[in-house]
């Protein structure tokens, strides 16, 4: 019934069997904990995801829902990959897209928890329909491979940015299209570092409620609040959906004013999109901070702002940009999952799959 290969691992086999046989409320609530050092701690034992490289976190659900134990087990047996797609090492060779989950929220200023964003997006994507009626394709046709979560480093925010840069570089060297899932917005800087080395005239299209143009924040220039300031040192930045900035950023906001599309001027309208696309170079990296969306449809962010974009207008923007420019990678960041409401997780997963479709087909 299940296509599940234990790869000869007695540890994993035992773990799964014991989970089924010895299921109880304790196990259900505290089965697995993700530790920042990449370890998975569980009620029954501790193992490292590298025991079976092809499965990474395949039996590590993001959050444990009060499902019947057997249903939970079935869910857990779907590969823990974007879309629940086959994710064995040999699938990487064929893949066009590499999904890189970065569970990092080391510089956040208000509520932590975006470290859980990548897993919530992947978890939701494993339970959504994989057919896109807009282009008539199954997302599995895109060739998607999900890498294991990038281990956070707390050495410094800069060290984390560089770790993202090096990993995205590897993805590019393998000829794949990088899709990074956050995590906080500072990780975008690493991706843009890698991409701007490869593409000399790169534009970054930022969908965000905030300008993120501070020179530094809380003592580091690699804060989430400085993400776009750093990107601007490497590429041209076009900002869409902005409705929050601060006095300290004034000078840079003025400098970039022709490339800032304020929410108050664009929400619910379409006439501006062509002008926005005009500001972009031929090669574009897209970064979506989910707080660009209106909190009515995206409450699961650290710092929600009223007056944001809605679903269909967001798709319209992305569709148009992808039709006219070459997209070289993208990220979706700042999901702060709330187990009481999974709709935003599904929105984020769908947004990722829609943008993959627009960018690559
Ligand atoms: Mn933001």
pLDDT above 50 (res 64)? no
- CA of 185 relative to ligand 1 center, distance in Å: 8
Query: Which of 122, 158, 118 has its CA nearest to residue 333?
Result: 118
Query: Which of 214, 240, 236, 235 has its CA nearest to residue 225?
Result: 214
Task: Answer with the residue of higher pLDDT: 161 or 48.
Answer: 161
Q: Compute the distance between CA of residue 334 and CA of residue 117 in angstroms, rounded to an integer.
A: 7
**What domains are defined for the chain?**
10-77 (no CATH), 89-360 (3.40.800.10)
- 273-331 pLDDT, tens digit each: 999 999 999 999 999 999 999 999 999 999 999 999 999 999 999 999 999 999 999 99
- CA of 170 relative to ligand 1 center, distance in Å: 27
- Find all residues with CB under 8 Å of 4, minimum gap 6, and list them: 77
Residue 62: band (very low, low, confident or very high) from pLDDT cuts 50, 70, 90: very low
- CA of 137 relative to ligand 1 center, distance in Å: 32
Q: Compute the distance between CA of residue 73 and CA of residue 16 in angstroms, rounded to an integer.
A: 8
- CA of 277 relative to ligand 1 center, distance in Å: 21
- CA of 306 relative to ligand 1 center, distance in Å: 12
- 215-248 pLDDT, tens digit each: 989 889 999 989 999 999 999 999 999 999 999 9
- 110-166 pLDDT, tens digit each: 778 999 999 999 999 999 999 999 999 999 999 999 999 998 888 889 999 999 999
Residue 351, Cβ neighbours under 10 Å: how many?
Answer: 23
- CA of 24 relative to ligand 1 center, distance in Å: 40
Partners of 39 in beta bridges: 48
- CA of 140 relative to ligand 1 center, distance in Å: 30
- CA of 208 relative to ligand 1 center, distance in Å: 5
Residue 72, Cβ neighbours under 10 Å: how many?
Answer: 20
Peptide bond into 183 cis (omega under 30): yes
pLDDT at 146: 94
- CA of 319 relative to ligand 1 center, distance in Å: 21
Helices assigned H by DSSP within 256-331: 263-266, 273-278, 311-324
- CA of 63 relative to ligand 1 center, distance in Å: 25
- CA of 332 relative to ligand 1 center, distance in Å: 11
Q: Compute the distance between CA of residue 93 and CA of residue 190 in angstroms, rounded to an integer.
A: 24
Q: Which of 23-37, 47-61, 90-104, 240-254 has the lowest mean pLDDT?
A: 47-61
């Amino acid at each position: 019934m299940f296509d599940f290969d234990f790869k000869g691992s007695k540890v994993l086999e035992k773990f799964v069997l014991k989970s089924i046989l010895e299921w109880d409320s304790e196990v259900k609530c505290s089965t697995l904990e993700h530790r920042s050092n990449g370890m998975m701690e569980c009620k029954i034992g501790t193992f490292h995801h590298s025991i079976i490289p092809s499965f990474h976190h395949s039996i590590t659900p993001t959050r444990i829902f009060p499902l019947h134990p057997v249903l939970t087990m079935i869910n857990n047996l779907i590969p823990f990959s974007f879309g629940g797609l086959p994710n064995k090492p040999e699938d990487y060779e064929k893949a066009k897209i590499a999904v890189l989950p970065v569970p990092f929220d080391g510089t956040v200023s208000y509520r932590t928890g975006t470290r859980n964003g990548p897993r919530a997006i992947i978890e939701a994507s494993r339970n959504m329909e994989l057919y896109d009626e807009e282009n008539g394709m199954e997302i599995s046709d895109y060739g998607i491979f999900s890498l294991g979560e990038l281990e956070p480093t707390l050495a410094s925010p800069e060290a984390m940015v560089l770790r993202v840069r090096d990993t995205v570089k590897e993805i590019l060297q393998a000829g794949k299209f990088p899709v990074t899932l956050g995590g906080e917005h500072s990780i975008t800087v690493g991706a843009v570092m890698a991409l701007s080395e490869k593409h000399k005239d790169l534009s970054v299209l930022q969908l965000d409620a905030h300008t993120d143009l501070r020179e530094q924040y809380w003592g580091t220039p690699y804060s989430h609040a400085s993400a776009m300031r750093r990107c601007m040192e490497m590429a041209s930045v076009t900002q869409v959906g902005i409705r929050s900035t601060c006095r300290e950023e004034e000078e840079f906001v003025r400098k970039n004013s022709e490339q800032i599309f304020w929410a108050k001027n664009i929400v619910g309208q379409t006439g501006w999109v062509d002008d926005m696309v005009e500001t972009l170079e031929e090669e574009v990296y897209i970064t979506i901070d989910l707080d660009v969306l209106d909190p009515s449809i995206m409450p699961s962010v650290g710092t929600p702002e009223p007056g944001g974009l809605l679903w269909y207008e967001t798709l319209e923007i992305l569709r148009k940009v992808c039709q006219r420019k070459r997209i070289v990678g993208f990220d979706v960041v700042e999901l702060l999952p709330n187990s009481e409401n999974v709709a935003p997780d599904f929105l984020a997963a769908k947004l990722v799959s829609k943008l993959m479709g627009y960018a690559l087909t």
